Structure 1
Amino acid sequence: MQKRILAAVIFSITIILATLGLISYLRVQDSIERSYGDRLGMSSMVGKYIEHILEENLTRLYDISLSDRVDFTDNDWMPERAALKAAYEYSIFTDGVFMLDQQASVRLTYPYRESAMVNLLGNPHVSQAVRYRKPVISNVFTEHPSGRKVIYVLVPLRNRSGDVVGAVGGVINPTNSMLSRALQTVQAEVRGNHYIEIIDANEVVVTSDKPARILEHHDHGGILSKMIKARASGVKFCSHGYSQAKPDGLTKDILAFVPLTVAPWGVIFGQSEQNLLMPADQLKTDFVLLAVLFTGTALVFAAGVSRTIVVPLRTLTAAANGIAKGDLTRPVGDVGTDEVGALARSFEVMRERLARSLDSIHQYSTELESRVYERTMQLEDKRRQNELLLKKLISSQEDERKRVARELHDEALQTLSAILMSIEMCRLHPELITPEKVSKIKETVVLVINDMNNVIQNLRPTVLDDLGFEAAVAWILDRNLRDKGIHCELDTRSFVAELLAPQMEIALFRIIQEASSNIARHAGAKNTYVHIRNDQGRINIYIDDDGDGFDTRSALETTFTGRGLGIMGMKERASLMNGRLTVCSTPGAGTMIFCTIPCPREA
């Protein structure tokens, strides 16, 4: 058993460590994803700031057209020069601003440079802005023959009439500190080896928080260029180690890249993988140390506990085997005061109670046999009752068929035969037809109709379909009681007949029909009271009479002889609707019938 305890402990430790390992793995992955998300958020924030600067300076160039000073035909360049000066001051256009005509010839610069008064149609960015009349922010462009690297920002130029007459642009020197200062501000807020750079669509560094990196080329196989064109952001790995003061080619960097929307540029937030994943690596180390410590402690504890459990359990096992063999005379020994000792004392109490329970079991078995026999007899009585009810149902159906046949034969058929004979006599002796004979034949036909109506009413009262439940109940009480001289009072003031389902109406009608029929035939009553009401989701029916009464117990016990089958039929109808029917009566004190059934609808 000691081996099983150790095996169970090792298995439990394995499950716990696997669970902790899975949780730690998920936490590590979550930590890494959060780190990536934070760096992408930082890149996005820097990108929005750079876009704000670019949009602000694009607005400066647009303001030149809005200044209402542009007119290339008046040979007065003072207004245009003033507009260029206003756009140049406090802008990022460190190498000046200029105006082009529609042939891409430089018409005016500020500050004025004679060498800049050339045609720039060969510059693809200038050509694009002039041809398509859309704002353009270029990649890093190398001017010829000077070899100077600059960035062009151009927008369409409109005159006072709003017509496009060329373009106005600004020249940015990437080595100027105006853009890099914004990146250095963000750099101061982030710890660890990292860098923030803006690159163009050719992966050339436009600006960087490390000025020495400006105009360097990111060699990533064109991946970042494709992401700029696709406007896609993401996290990439870099093996150049630019985050180090002296890149060694061994340190891996993680790049969080976000493209800009107003320029074909992108923002790179690069950080060494070691610095970025340091929290995740520390979490892995902590988990390994915790797992080793937990495993060692658990094994030592399990070994000690198993020794203190196995010996007492062997004693308890021997005692349990004795009890299992039927030896209830040998007491269980004392094995200590801990939980195992408490278990041993419980075994001793169990042994003593088992001995006392043997006699009780014998008594209980005898009593159980008696109850089983009693229940069997009850079921047999129920079976006989059901058999009698079935016989009564079949007998009632046959009696009803005989009654209908007798009524049709004795009344309707005889009357129809008389009508047929009268009609035949009229056919043979038409001269004998008189109004009196016609009236007599008509009366005979009406009599047949009334007889047929009586037959139909006995089979299925049409008043139940035509006038509803309450009218049908009043009709059956009139027929069974009032027509026979028994005073009857019907109270339905607290009853809503619309709540009854069709099958429920028929069942309740038959119960009242059977009860009123029994009162007329057996009770010898002079007064009867019928009360129907809705009460808290149930339909309650009370039927009282002041007749002779009877012994309900003896009536129900003699159903095997045929007596009391009417009461049993009413009870069965009530039970089929999940209801209950109770009959209370004593000889000489009248009878009260109470029926209650659940109402499936609510008022």
Structure 2
Amino acid sequence: MQKRIIVSILLSVLIILISLGLVSYRHIEKSIERSYKDHLTEAKIIGTSIDHILEENLTRLYDISLSDRIDIADNSWLPEQEALKTAYHYSIFTDGVFLLDKIGNVLLTYPPRGGWSINMIGIPPVGKVISDMRPVISSVFTMEPSQRKVIVALVPLKNRNGDVVGAAGGFIDPTNYQITQILTSIAAAKTTNIELVDSQGIVIASNHPESILTGIDHNKFLGKLIAEKKSTVATCHRCHAAAKESMRRTEDVLVFTPLDLAPWGVAFRFPKDIIYAPSQSLKAGFLMLGIISLATSFVLALGMSRSIVKPVRQLIQATGRIARGNLSEAVNIESTEEIGTLASSFEGMRQKLAASLDSIQRQNLELEQRVRERTQQLEEKHAVNRILLKKLITSQEDERKRIARELHDESLQTLSALLMNIEMCRLHPDQIKPQKVALMKDTVTHVINEMTKVIQNLRPTVLDDLGFEAGIVWLIDRNLKERGINCFVNLQSLEEDKLRPELQVTLFRIIQELTTNIARHAQAKNVLIHVKNDNKLFTMTIEDDGIGFDTGTVFENTLTGRGLGILGMKERAAQVNGTLKICSAPDQGTMVLCAVPLSSEV
């Protein structure tokens, strides 16, 4: 237990330290994410500024067409020369501007270049601007034969009628001051590179001038981002070479956003250690704090556990004695703290256990007796159910035999005789007399009546034809009055429309069984029948002045086959949530009370 206390305290302290560490780490991670977003926003601002410069200078090239003096077919180049001069002096095209015809031939340049009549259709941007008739800004490429690194910007050239007759373009020096100034004006650490790169990974401008026109790492990756116009923040590796040092590989953070007007992009590259330095410092400090906290917690837990464990062990020994059944020895632990209170509670529990043990044993004996009695009742119930099932099967078979016998002995024989009479009439039609026809008619009527009796025994049609009240009257007339028994029937309070069809059938069968039993066994002369119902309850009282019977004896002898009819009526009433009570005694008649709720929940 002492170990568990120490471990629990140390785990609690450790969980607190881990929780604090996770919260702090999460805040640092969010700070890093904000730093990434800030750098990306800064890169987008730089890109927007460069796009604005490029847009202004493309406008200078568009102004050549808008000067309304362009006509390359009049053999007069003075207006075009003036337009080129204006575009040159008010743009970043410090390496010159020029005009091309539709097949890429250089028509005019400014400043003039003698003997510079070349075809530039082989330069991809030239072919694209002529074919697509849209402005194009290229990546860095090398001009032949001077081997000079330049960037070309081109727009479609239109004449006075608005027809495209060629292209106007200009050469941009990659080291142009306006573009470089934007990057160098950003306050950044020495280890941070802010670069404008083209789709081939060539540095166009940088806050580190020595990087201009050099190739950047991951040029294919950046080219794909430029083509997809997609910004990103990622980690990458680059190799650094310092004087008198071997090549070393470091991990950088790359923040990149593409430009809209040119196949270029703005890239921020800085060592990952700069961003993650606070996280590393937090880890070191937190590790030291954790070691000190755990050591302090261990010392405190050791002292506290010793003051708790000793009385707890004594209490464990006492509870062990109680668990083994030794309730005679008292629980004595000298302690004024919670353990002492707990020991007093255990002592009280010991006394109560000793007092209640005898009571439990007595209750166990009583429970065993009740279980035996209940088991016997269940066995009797199962036996009765088996007898009822057997009687049900026997009744079904007897009913089938009775129907078959009635059909064979009466209806079939009568129909056979009728068939013979019909055959005689067919063979001797001259001997047919009205008396014979009347006899055959009476025979058919007799068969119909016999079949009607069979059908009524199976399912009394009086319920379907006349209703429940008429069915009761029919049963009383058939089973009682025809046997000379006086019947006093009160059906005035019966509301038949409030009885469900299935409930009517169940009650009809109960009344049928009761009237049959009275006729067979009661030897009664008078029978009183009172049936009524309201919105909630159906009640029926049937009383006779017959010989009666001993209800206890009948129900006890159910297993022998006696009283199964009464049990069947009780089961029918129970199926519709009703009750059926029988009050009888020898030579005192019998009274049956049946009550059934009219709720549809069965």
- TM-score over 0.5 for the alignment? yes
Q: Which residue of 529, 532, 539 maps to 1:529? A: 532
Task: Return the offset for 1:441.
Answer: 2.1
Distance in 1 of aligned mates of 2:406 and 2:189: 111
Q: Which residue of 520, 523, 540 maps to 1:544? A: 540
Opposite residue 152 of structure 1, the aligned amino acid is V
User: Secondary structure at 1:404's aligned position in 2?
Assistant: helix
Change in CA separation of 1:356 and 1:130 when aligned onto 2, cut-off 3 Å: closer
1:477-527 CA distance string (max 9 Å, x none): 4643577785646636567x7xxxxxxx6x645412322314544683444
Change in CA separation of 1:127 and 1:327 when aligned onto 2, cut-off 3 Å: closer
Q: Which residue of 577, 592, 595 maps to 1:593? A: 595
Which shifted more, 342-351 or 289-298? 289-298
Task: Return the offset for 1:461.
Answer: 6.2
Opposite residue 203 of structure 1, the aligned amino acid is G
Instruction: Tell me the matched-pair count.
Output: 572
Contact in 2 for aligned 1:107/1:117 (Cα 8 Å): no
Distance in 2 of aligned mates of 1:60 and 1:457: 113
Distance in 2 of aligned mates of 1:564 and 1:160: 123
Q: Please tell me the root mean square deviation across aligned C-alpha atoms, in Å.
A: 4.6
Task: Return the offset for 1:270.
Answer: 0.9
- Quote the residue 2:302 is aligned against: 303
1:551-589 CA distance string (max 9 Å, x none): 99858666446566456445545766xx62223676788
Contact in 1 for aligned 2:36/2:255 (Cα 8 Å): yes
Distance in 1 of aligned mates of 2:470 and 2:55: 95
Which shifted more, 66-75 or 290-299? 66-75
Contact in 1 for aligned 2:40/2:233 (Cα 8 Å): yes
Task: Return the offset for 1:547.
Answer: 4.4
Task: Return the offset for 1:133.
Answer: 3.8
Change in CA separation of 1:12 and 1:567 when aligned onto 2, cut-off 3 Å: farther
Contact in 1 for aligned 2:235/2:251 (Cα 8 Å): no
Contact in 1 for aligned 2:130/2:156 (Cα 8 Å): no
Gaps of 5+ in 2: 482-486, 519-526, 585-589
- Quote the residue 2:386 is aligned against: 387
Contact in 1 for aligned 2:95/2:170 (Cα 8 Å): yes
Change in CA separation of 1:383 and 1:242 when aligned onto 2, cut-off 3 Å: same
Structure with greater Cα Rg: 2
Opposite residue 172 of structure 2, the aligned amino acid is I
Opposite residue 577 of structure 2, the aligned amino acid is R
Opposite residue 215 of structure 1, the aligned amino acid is L
Change in CA separation of 1:594 and 1:268 when aligned onto 2, cut-off 3 Å: same
- Quote the residue 2:212 is aligned against: 214
- Quote the residue 1:319 is aligned against: 318
- Quote the residue 1:239 is aligned against: 238
- Percent identity among equivalent residues? 45
User: Secondary structure at 2:174's aligned position in 1?
Assistant: coil
Task: Return the offset for 1:337.
Answer: 2.5
- Quote the residue 1:537 is aligned against: none
Distance in 2 of aligned mates of 1:208 and 1:516: 110
Distance in 1 of aligned mates of 2:145 and 2:180: 27
Change in CA separation of 1:238 and 1:332 when aligned onto 2, cut-off 3 Å: same
Query: Map of 1:8-87 to 2, 5 A cutoff?
Result: 39-40=39-40, 43=43, 46-47=46-47, 50-51=50-51, 54=54, 57-58=57-58, 61=61, 70-74=70-74
Contact in 2 for aligned 1:241/1:248 (Cα 8 Å): yes
- Quote the residue 1:407 is aligned against: 406
Contact in 2 for aligned 1:152/1:170 (Cα 8 Å): yes
Change in CA separation of 1:347 and 1:73 when aligned onto 2, cut-off 3 Å: same
- Quote the residue 1:422 is aligned against: 421
> Do structure 1's residue 173 and structure 2's residue 168 form an aligned pair?
no
Change in CA separation of 1:217 and 1:48 when aligned onto 2, cut-off 3 Å: same
Opposite residue 178 of structure 2, the aligned amino acid is M
Gaps of 5+ in 1: 498-504, 534-539
Distance in 1 of aligned mates of 2:74 and 2:507: 116
Contact in 1 for aligned 2:96/2:111 (Cα 8 Å): no
User: Secondary structure at 1:334's aligned position in 2?
Assistant: coil
TM-score normalised by length of structure 2? 0.77
Change in CA separation of 1:403 and 1:90 when aligned onto 2, cut-off 3 Å: farther
- Quote the residue 1:254 is aligned against: 253
- Quote the residue 2:523 is aligned against: none
Change in CA separation of 1:114 and 1:86 when aligned onto 2, cut-off 3 Å: closer
- Quote the residue 1:101 is aligned against: 101
Task: Return the offset for 1:378.
Answer: 2.4
Task: Return the offset for 1:287.
Answer: 4.0
- Quote the residue 2:284 is aligned against: 285
Task: Return the offset for 1:204.
Answer: 1.7
- Quote the residue 2:361 is aligned against: 362
